[in-house]
Structure 1
């Protein structure tokens, strides 16, 4: 396997097995403890059957190859970005071979009779994924075609706060809370809901002329009020087709030692607060169902100490979605890969 992007091309198969075992032992130990790993630890807890001195020599060779780094406060070693990259891609290759003709039900997103579709199905999948990986999950959803509004209803929550609920022709439900500076009586609200649905059914959601609106609005209702709601509905409806991004499990970063530094945490949170930056992270060409990007492979300097496990799916024959598990370099790649595979398979197979 050749390593890509930013590093010298090196064939991983040329590294002898003992060095590979030592490197993988250090990676797995470091994933668990987050502390540098020394030769004595490897000698005592591995089945290599060689002395600590021999292991130290091998570790020095791995350090020269750029696969290990020496911690400043310890004689132990920690994995380098290149080591994580080798490790992650090897795991992915191993996983793909194992799963090439195998299906799994280990993570359930929805049942065939649950009625969860589209954005709601993706949201539930991301919730499960962030919980199972203890990582941040980023996602995007893009529609192929814009659905039509089948029915809508404006519901009063408090005196001047309302929610408008759209039922789309693909049976999706979308809602938006909004405030007004005036109160609407329950009888007027009932008339407004009736009239708006009538307008939508007659005019198939195109904008009405003033004359057409006058013909439909009775003298008991304020023409400007109806016009306001039509403008609001049109604005929200047009936004339905925008690419939607979401960040799930953001609180998980508080449990990661890598984000104990306030400025690093702030930079990470600011990045994920930007919809355009999330789209940049997800905007990658995938050659396989699951791809792994480590460090500089992600393409953003702010995430050079992170890893991204990414998939792209067609959902319900109506959406293109991307889901990414975003973690520090020190993360459980095996779990992240298998969890994303399982959740993506459940999404597209039901």
Structure 2
């Protein structure tokens, strides 16, 4: 991040913005607040380079009397400081620029941008009213008064456009068209693309009129997906044993969990999710289900390998194996070999260059 902020947060920013955190136990998150630990320990914990979970299942925590939380899914957090600073450095803001932030969260990154640019140049959108309220109170107490809005970040904020920079601190399955309209030509969009199986990574796009293009970074973060793009509650219909057609699988379900091949599987099957379970007392099989296209692939172990049973309009495992084979033909590169081009009508991830192999992002 260019200018007077440099690579450090203003003193005490994170401690002023964090209400506390439930720390994970074996099956339970235990709350940690300034009242439950000594001041020195609180500051040590706050300024440790870790992500803090601050909300579960979309429900507010009563930080005046927090209780342990069990069997819950994190839905809001304060990102580890080193990642916040890295993203702000990638954003490359300069004096006088206007920035739109998607995902206020605790307001930590919002405060850093206010410190760098001035509050009048920062607009931040948070989808959760309770999270937004706490961020507003904490930011105001810290002397920052950015434009804070509650709403769907995919829509942006046209009344404040055009923006020089847009940064998202939650993951998106695609680039919302409104962002292209609200970021001026030559401006930057910095966001994490992710799917329902895994994160694809951090991508930095340069806007050129009605389109934008750019590259993935290496070892991109895995932010929580934007709530408006979260996966359907139902995984889809589990196929009965005689559904679909069977063939010998070239590769097994390890493709879905190994780093590079899992990236390719997410591109090849953007609407799918997977799980493993034993069927009818037999061996464990892996189910790849696409509830959008109503398609499935089931991988079952055989002597010396795997067989796959597929059904529905999309042959999911065919697509996954083909994408992984293409990636291997190119030398199994890391994410920095992949780029993204988006327009109003089409969004695609490509390998090597925009004329290389492509995989469409979900609409």
Give TM-score, length-normalised by structure 1: 0.23
- Which structure has more helix as a fraction of its residues? 1
Give TM-score, length-normalised by structure 2: 0.22
Please tell me whether Structure 1 or Structure 2 has the larger radius of gyration of its CA atoms.
1
